[in-house]
Amino acid sequence: MTFPHLRLSANPHDRTGVRRKDQAWLDERWADPESRVLLVSGTRVRPVSGRVPWLSPQEAPEGLRVLLGEQGGRAHFAVVVPPGSVPGEKHEWFPLRGLLPHLATDGLDEAPLLFHALGLAEWLHVTRFCPRCGGALEAQASGHELVCSQCGRSQFPRTDPAVIMLVTAGEPGSPAERCLLGRQALWPEGRYSTLAGFCEPGETLEDAVRREVAEEVGIRVGEVEYFGNQPWPLPASLMIGFLGRAESTEIQVDDDEIEAARWFTREEMKAEAEAGTLALPAGVSISRSLVEHWYGDTLPGQW
């Protein structure tokens, strides 16, 4: 079974990090009409005919040039401009979440480049001043480093590790085996997903799984097994998937992050998904992959 969330990272580009400060090489590749450029307005992209558009350098406006790397023998850049500084109505520009459905159909090869570009754009957007002295920051290293104009301290892009987990109980593979899903109060009726949360300082990923599940639904988790991971720059996360085995089954939701949680057998999950009363996350998410890995097949319906 091939998981969509893994296919989103299946064709990574060469990030050519050693070239980020090589101005002669950068100028040469920028002058090459075969190079490709993604225009980013703030943290958004304007799709054309349902696809992410790539321009030649000659077509790109002035802005912060970000080197993404090389793919298919071509250099790829992003040009980041202030919001509203290029043509197009506001509703025509989409954040990464709005672009994910296009990637799931025919844009899988572009996903790593897009994740890279918009992840950096998000970081540049929110990192305006030096956290040490408050001085202005200046972009260097093709957009991958910000240097304070006053104290000289460098800032680099940050990625926040987040655990996402499917917890199961009962004899593995048996009809009675169940998996645990939860829902937030803001979600439409019937929408459920796996539990997730951020890793705290000084904490292992496995202990983050156990703590988050205990905090959110009161379930005690024992064995924790690594499943896979997915870049998730919304705005700056790496989703790290796990399978956990429950040592208790009584649910006590925290009524803060989680409104309700349920145990589902495979039969219940299939019946409710087919009836449309259970909506699971979209196919490009690692949450969907975790659920269908446990279920053993694809399921109908999604957010």
**Residues 291-303: pLDDT tens digits?**
999 999 999 987 7
From the candidate CATH numbers 3.30.420, 3.90.79, 3.30.460, 1.20.120, the one assigned to the domain spanning 4-126: 3.90.79
Which carries the bigger pLDDT value, residue 301 or residue 237?
237
Residues 6+ away with beta carbon under 8 Å from 282:
100, 101, 104, 288, 302, 303
Closest CA to 82 of 113, 115, 40, 110: 40
CATH 3.90.79.10 is the classification of domain 160-295: yes
Alpha-carbon dihedral sign for residues 260, 265, 267, 273:
positive
Average pLDDT over residues 137-160: 97
At residue 1, the pLDDT reads 65
* H/E segment holding residue 207: helix 205-217
- Lowest mean pLDDT: which of 147-156, 214-223, 232-241? 232-241
Euclidean distance between CA atoms 35 and 25, whole angstroms: 13
pLDDT digits (tens, 9 = 90+) for 49-71: 878 899 999 999 999 999 999 99
| Residue 149, pLDDT score | 96
Predicted confidence (pLDDT) at residue 6 exceeds the cutoff of 90: no
- Split at pLDDT 50, 70, 90, the class of 141 is very high
DSSP string covering 122-160 = HHHHH--B-TTT--BEEEEGGGTEEEETTT--EE----E
Q: Which stretch of 50-54, 134-138, 165-169, 222-226 has the lowest confidence by average pLDDT?
A: 50-54
